[in-house]
Structure 1
Amino acid sequence: MILNKAIEKAHDYGVLVMFSHTIFSLSFALISMLLASDGLPSHYVIFWILVAFMGARTGANAINRVIDAEIDAKNPRTAVRQLPQGLLQKKEVIIFTTVCFLIMIIAAAMLNPLCVLLSPIALFLMIIYSYTKRFTWACHLVLGVTSAAAPVGAWLAVTGRISWLPIFIGGANTLWVAGFDIIYGSQDYDFDIANGVYSIPARFGVKNALHIAALFHGITLVLLFIVGILSNQLGIIYYIGLVIISILFIIEHRIVSPNNLSNVKVASYSINQLVSIVFLICGVIDALI
């Protein structure tokens, strides 16, 4: 009985923090780590980077659900989430979030002083994102910048300094995430308008929002191409990966339209999980061979 409840609780938390979406920023973080170390860093560095990453992304998703609980309860699409349903309580999720963020800070301290010094900025971004939809349509970009803290942080963890390469990786991560978040947000156009929720679809209309998402993904490819040029570790396999990603982007934007948003979840999540996997596999092969 106790075991079954524990399993159910773990499942609820896994769904709450969208554990299956970990791959979205993890791929960029791992490639950044490999490029920063010119191969594999020590097991010590790898371990603490992964701990910091998991603490940050898990805490960020949990606090997002707490902050958005009232909005989620009003939206028929999100009313089935754990907090609106009462499967989890705000107080326990806040405690869970605090533990996750403490783990991130401890991991940062185990890496180097610069990571600890910059950790408050990462925490600020992870918390403020959830509030941005209340006052700016640029909330998708804030989410992207928050996600980009993963590859930039991984670079800093290895080198202890910033350079142009992680900036371009972070820029690509930012626009990629913002692009598919815009697509996903298009299905809430009517709800956002009616409830005063800010988003690019609500501000510019679904048709223009999808064009903006496509533009973001086009720039993402350009930035990833520049990453390949700047790095002496990436070569033909990496560029083959970019070609595959380009095809996936084309498919993603072809299967959604203002008049047909039935494939929004496939376009924004399923296809971009493949994008992340392709980027990870091709980048790792080139970085390590």
Structure 2
Amino acid sequence: MLFSTKDTGPVHDAVKQHWVDTHLPSWARPYARLARWERPIGWWLLLWPCWWSAALAAIAAGHPWPNPWHLLLFLIGAVAMRGAGCTYNDLVDENIDRQVERTRSRPIPAGQISRKQAKVFLVVQALVGFFVLIQFNSFAIGLGIASLAVVAIYPFMKRVTDWPQLFLGLAFSWGALMGWAAEFGSLAWPAVFLYLGGICWTIGYDTIYAHQDKEDDALVGVRSTARLFGARTKPALVALYLGATALFALAAAFADAGPAAFVGIAAGAAHLLWQVLVLDIDDPDQCLKLFRSNTRYGWIVFAGLAADALIASA
């Protein structure tokens, strides 16, 4: 049966005593853990390029703020599609997850939920995402459907390349194109620069995240930029974060943004520099903390863009 699950306790790397464990009925908990509802950082990271792009489009269009309806749709879509992506990833990675300490307690390898149940849940979440997508114009709908190709291949990249984080960036930064397309029904250089910058940012933060698993990854043959960079991780992060900052600044410039947007980008760059300076790649707990701090980075950049739109229209 679809809703017949076995709750064998929280996932090892999940937030403890979260509302998923304390308020949801026992049959629903494995589904919530599969979608990572207790870890909002994932959908925040998927959402930020969407909201940045919507704010950048507002600046270019002369609006005082990003379209609120678009922001709400992107929020719902990010939660749904992040959950669908995690479900798909766990289906693909079941055998690998069983061999990694941090992931072997996830719902599928732990036997909390069957593969059939996970596939049905995947379809339900994807349908929510599709319903959100069709609220936009036809160009944005086609662009959103095109993203599925990148999403589909991402889980396999850790088996064939040292750069799976690049493919995560291609998928997670797609919203940088969507926000602009939702406003204008086309693409332009500001959205492209924002997308490229988002890729650099994603490679950086997910490299930090991947350092949690580098020992287990080496044993099971999983590849990552964390293993590739190794002791050179900090210089690599400096290059990636500088690239992201420069590309975000180009996006703002091509959208004719004012000073507030650049102040936000600069303040965000200071936050990224802090990440690099304090990073200890051999401290998994700190790596996770720094990874999660990118939610604050997203707010900083968005606040600058949104403030700029408001100031320019005054």
TM-score tier (shorter): 0.7 to 0.9
The one-letter code of the counterpart of 1:209 is T
User: Could you give the per-residue CA deviations for residues 39-77 of structure 1, whole angstroms, max 9, x where no partner exists?
Assistant: 346665555444444433331122112222221121011
Q: Distance in 2 between matches of 1:185 and 1:241?
A: 27
CA apart distance, 1:194: 1.6
In the superposition, relative to structure 1, how do residues 287 and 92 fare at CA in structure 2: closer, same or farther (>3 Å)?
farther
* Structure 1 length-normalised TM: 0.87
Corresponding residue number in structure 2 for 1:219: 243
CA apart distance, 1:135: 0.8
User: Could you give the per-residue CA deviations for residues 178-237 of structure 1, whole angstroms, max 9, x where no partner exists?
Assistant: 1110111123222222211111233x34112343233111111111111221222x3333
Superposition pairs for residues 43-192 of structure 1, below 5 Å?
Answer: 45-192=70-217
In the superposition, relative to structure 1, how do residues 222 and 9 fare at CA in structure 2: closer, same or farther (>3 Å)?
farther
Corresponding residue number in structure 2 for 1:17: 35
Which range moves more in the overlay, 26-35 or 177-186?
A: 26-35
In the superposition, relative to structure 1, how do residues 87 and 144 fare at CA in structure 2: closer, same or farther (>3 Å)?
same
Q: Distance in 2 between matches of 1:258 and 1:139?
A: 18
Corresponding residue number in structure 1 for 2:6: none
The one-letter code of the counterpart of 1:277 is W
Say which of 235, 245, 249 aligns to 2:268.
Answer: 245
Corresponding residue number in structure 2 for 1:268: 291
How many residues align? The count is 284
Q: Distance in 1 between matches of 2:119 and 2:234?
A: 34
User: Could you give the per-residue CA deviations for residues 103-153 of structure 1, whole angstroms, max 9, x where no partner exists?
Assistant: 323333331222333343211222211111111111101001101111212
Corresponding residue number in structure 1 for 2:300: 278
Q: Distance in 2 between matches of 1:156 and 1:181?
A: 26
Q: Distance in 2 between matches of 1:54 and 1:258?
A: 29
Residues 56 and 252 in structure 2, CA contact (< 8 A), matched pair in contact too: no
* Structure 2 length-normalised TM: 0.81
Q: Distance in 1 between matches of 2:168 and 2:288?
A: 18
Q: Which has the higher helix share?
A: 1
Residues 178 and 216 in structure 1, CA contact (< 8 A), matched pair in contact too: yes
Q: Distance in 1 between matches of 2:27 and 2:52?
A: 33
Say which of 51, 54, 73 aligns to 1:30.
Answer: 51
What's the RMSD between the two structures over aligned residues?
2.5
Residues 190 and 254 in structure 2, CA contact (< 8 A), matched pair in contact too: yes
Residues 186 and 209 in structure 1, CA contact (< 8 A), matched pair in contact too: no
Q: Distance in 2 between matches of 1:188 and 1:210?
A: 17
Unaligned runs of 5+ in 1: none
